Amino acid sequence: MIRVTALLLTFATGFAGLVYEVTWQRYLATLLGSHGEATAAVLAIFLGGLAAGYALFGRVTQWSVARARRDGRSARLLYLYALVEGGIGLYALAFPILFSVAQQVSLQSPAADALGFGFDVVLSALLIGPATVLMGGTIPILTLALAGDLAHATRVHAWVYGVNTLGAFAGALGAAYWLIPWLGLDSVLYTMGCVNLVAAAIFAQLDRGASSVAPDWLQTTTDPGLPIARFAGWAAVALLAGFGMMALQTTFNRVAGLALGASQFTFAMVAAVFVLCIALGSLAVSAFSRIPRGLIVGSQFALVALLIPLYLAIADITYWAYALRVMFQPADPAFYVHQLALFGALVAILIVPISLAGALLPLLFHLLRREIGDLGAVAGRLYAWNTVGSLLGALLGGYVLLFWLDLHHIYRLAVVVLAVGAVMLLQLVMRLPRVIPALVLIPIVAVIALLPPWPVDRMTAGLFRGRSPSPISFLGPEAFYSKRLLGSILFYDDDPTATVSVLEPPAQPENRGIVVNGKSDGALEGDYVTMALTALLPALMAEKHERCFVIGLGTGVTAGQLAALDNTAEVQVAEISRGVIAANPLFDAGNFGASRNPKVSIRRGDAYRTLLRSTGQFDVIVSEPSNPWVAGVEMLYSREFLSAARDRLTPGGVYAQWFHLYESDVEVVSLVLRTYASVFPRVSVWFTLGSDLLLLGFDRPDRGLDVRALEQRFHRADFAEGFSRAGIEQFPQLLSHELLPLGTLHATELTGPIHTLRKPILSYRAARAFFIGRQAWLPPYLSAEHEEVSSRNSLLQRYSGRGPLSEEVLEVAARETCRFDRREECAALLARWSVDHPGSSRFESTLEDLRKDTGGKMPEIQKGRLAMLRPPLRSQTPCREEGGSAGSGPGFDHPVRPLLPPRGAVRPTHPRSGMGSLPDEGV
């Protein structure tokens, strides 16, 4: 009963341990950043602490047994383990406070760049190092405490390792899918800390009755089996296995991001599947009453043999993931069913090879056990070396080697390393002449070397954005890709942070685009308007634009456009990916030669960390990151990051944030706007392309409302040229892009959750909205306060003066909104025109032109007129967007359908644009 209870508690502590790892990674991303160096550093600290803990507590158990023998009593190992768990629990409860102190110390440090990063790595090691060392006590202490005798030692050890790892599997899924979005980082630590404290109390109670299963520590029993060679050989096998499997896991993480999208759910899924299969492999060892030597060696050669055909299958993984995806309806109830199907598919693919890897350590422990009192020391040393190998696999295979190699190289290297470990194990177990293992290794390495590289066009196809089946969806990968012509891949690089490629479409070579982790992050032609206006609008609105900061390089159009303005002296760009930076010269023809412009300086690093450690203030800060469902990007939408950006604005400065309505829902949009408004007291919202938005946060609103000053700058030669390239020739044409005038968001109190670094809910909600993949609405604002502020501050109305808008302004605005397929705004403007200027021939001529331009798909003006003539509704009737999510009103809590804005204002509507960065549904 004691053993069963202890194993159940081991499951709980394994669950807590993996939750800690995920949660600490989120914490430390705000300290170190989200780039490859930071991720590798955090993983190295965690694994290094575990390795130290395994080695330390292996010696502690040995010392405890020796002391107990001298004193003629049983060693109180369960009580020792209770102290370990209690220490972890108390540390978890104190961690949020310790982290806040470390943040302040980091910000006060004068060190910059590499030295500053090294200082923060040391801080991170001090933060999570002590707890990870304590976590390393699980395997050595419990193996010895629960074994009883050598006959049962292997089985008990496999139980401890397997059950603890099963708990880690549950923790990996629980943290990503439920705990962190539901509780937030601080509350997760408090909850898990309580789990450890309860476990500690129960282990302390178990220690009182442990004599029934405790071994007789006064006797030393040796295993008469296989003579043991020097431990260095076994340590090398464990180290190579750790390196190979961690390098494989990091490779699978990246490949899964290309096949499924680089969301937090993807990475949690891969980690959970690996951990589950390792646990199953360990538990399988416990089922053997007798373990022959051939089984131990054969399992590792079988692992290598299975990984080779798996390598070949990965070439088509993006297609098979797509084929599975389109079997599910893009609706919220299908989200978890789809995730379950993905989980089952990954387990089916990986269960045999990864389980064989998971069986290795218990099998090695079986060979190495010699004396009952040394079980903990043997387990500690074995797992310490394996974890050191995992650490090296994370640092080298997951980061350093990617400076020179691509993902398929890392996979093949990992298989070679595992093959070397299998050959060494053959030599150690079978005692063969050394020439035989060498002869076995040579053909294996030759086969691996001859494996073809993964096709880059298939790896970066971005099929995870397809949600509806097409006639070619289920033809198989060869037929599918032969009919889906993507164009030429001009550049490809698996860098330490992301997989980056540059695509040139076959029929549109001028529309060259950059693809990051399989997702388009900008194209020179299709996304030009968004990228240009993201630079021009804040520069137009700011008091000055001499010093600018751009977050995300992409195609370089935004940075290049800012640098092309006459009065711009400096443009600093924060870019996390080395591959994006290396690819930038390929876009010089369309980005004003940004890579060669002396005004533009690119700082490689995480945007949050780079901005926090930048010197001086900026007149314009532009953030155009990837979508918020992409792991790590949600930090740039957090209140903390926005506050840091606000604090670095000069007086009269403007912060511009790109956002999108495609592949989203009203809940996500509401969350983003609420968070933005919680930091910037003066906000306006504009559209660039049909479903691309630009949020402008002002240091002060004077210039943002001074229409004449804005018009004067608009007509300045450098601005006029920039707007003209974006297709905007007239000032009213630009003003028609305003959706929410200054002050509209703050006209009434906004209620609802805020996205923060300590309560990161955006990526969770955005990933679910991405699964559905529909267009979102901007939340409507229909209260009298909203209407009054919107009408007073509308730039289009201010430009026209009091009274009705002139026909000239109405025509320009209607043509512009219809050009970008903003149908309801276009209908509202046309309805306004028909009411304010009845019988206008200019109206009829414009309407006829628009009908021709849209192929007869004009919105119904009569509905726009009826909406305009009746007062705003105050009903509680919910508005449903296409995805089924309710709209929301003032404060985002009043569900009503958005109607026509007050005279002169532009009402946000449901975009239907298929331009720019919208996904290709037909795939």
Confidence tier at 868 by pLDDT (50, 70, 90): very low
* Position 11 pLDDT exceeds 60: yes
* Position 440 pLDDT exceeds 70: yes
Supply the pLDDT for residue 872.
33
Supply the pLDDT for residue 759.
93
Among 5-19, 320-334, 362-376, 881-895, the range scoring the smallest mean pLDDT is: 881-895
- Residue identified by tokens 């240009």 is 532
DSSP letters of 318-333? HHHHHHHHTTS-SSTT
Kindly report the backbone phi and psi dihedral angles of residue 472, in degrees, each rounded to the nearest multiple of 5, phi listed first: -105, 5
Supply the pLDDT for residue 523.
93
Q: What is the Cα 587 distance to its own chain's centre? A: 26
- Which positions ≥6 away from 568 have C-beta within 8 Å? 539, 545, 546, 548, 562, 599
Supply the pLDDT for residue 860.
59
Pick from 277, 254, 236, 241: nearest CA to 409: 254
pLDDT in tens, 173-221: 999 999 999 999 999 999 999 999 999 999 999 887 654 334 444 344 4
Contact 454, 315 (CB under 8 A): yes
Contact 461, 477 (CB under 8 A): no
Contact 549, 572 (CB under 8 A): yes
What percent of the chain is predicted at pLDDT more than 70? 89
**DSSP assignment, residue 891?**
G
Q: Where are the beta strands (DSSP E) in 407-532?
A: 488-494, 499-504, 513-516, 519-523
Supply the pLDDT for residue 768.
93
* Mean pLDDT calculated for residue range 622-634: 91
Supply the pLDDT for residue 231.
81
Measured distance CA(758)–CA(184) in Å, rounded: 6
Pick from 196, 212, 86: nearest CA to 146: 212
* Mean pLDDT calculated for residue range 393-399: 91
Contact 391, 47 (CB under 8 A): yes
Confidence tier at 228 by pLDDT (50, 70, 90): very low
* Position 371 pLDDT exceeds 90: no
pLDDT in tens, 118-170: 888 899 999 999 999 999 999 999 988 888 667 778 888 899 999 999 999 99
Higher per-residue pLDDT: 689 or 373: 689
What percent of the chain is predicted at pLDDT more than 90? 60
Confidence tier at 918 by pLDDT (50, 70, 90): very low
Measured distance CA(120)–CA(42) in Å, rounded: 11
> Quick one: residue 839, left, alpha or beta (phi over 0 = left, psi -120 to 50 = alpha)?
left
* Position 325 pLDDT exceeds 80: yes
How many angstroms separate the Cα of 256 from the Cα of each of 270, 271, 325, 326, 733?
Answer: 7, 11, 13, 17, 44
Measured distance CA(708)–CA(798) in Å, rounded: 9
DSSP letters of 142-176? HHHHHH-SHHHHHHHHHHHHHHHHHHHHHHHHHII
Return the number of other C-beta atoms located less than 10 Å from residue 479's C-beta.
11
Higher per-residue pLDDT: 591 or 896: 591
* Mean pLDDT calculated for residue range 709-719: 96
Supply the pLDDT for residue 861.
58
Confidence tier at 859 by pLDDT (50, 70, 90): low
Supply the pLDDT for residue 703.
83
* Position 921 pLDDT exceeds 70: no
* Mean pLDDT calculated for residue range 848-864: 67
Higher per-residue pLDDT: 106 or 909: 106
pLDDT in tens, 475-488: 999 999 988 877 89
The amino acid at 106: S
Confidence tier at 825 by pLDDT (50, 70, 90): confident
Among 385-399, 539-553, 812-826, the range scoring the smallest mean pLDDT is: 812-826
Pick from 56, 52, 31: nearest CA to 41: 31
pLDDT in tens, 517-527: 999 999 999 89
Supply the pLDDT for residue 288.
85
Find the angle CA(156)-CA(158)-CA(162) to the nearest 5 degrees.
120
**DSSP assignment, residue 547?**
E
Measured distance CA(827)–CA(833) in Å, rounded: 10
* Mean pLDDT calculated for residue range 875-898: 30
* Mean pLDDT calculated for residue range 272-295: 90
DSSP H or E run through 797: helix 795-800
Higher per-residue pLDDT: 227 or 463: 463
* Position 798 pLDDT exceeds 80: yes
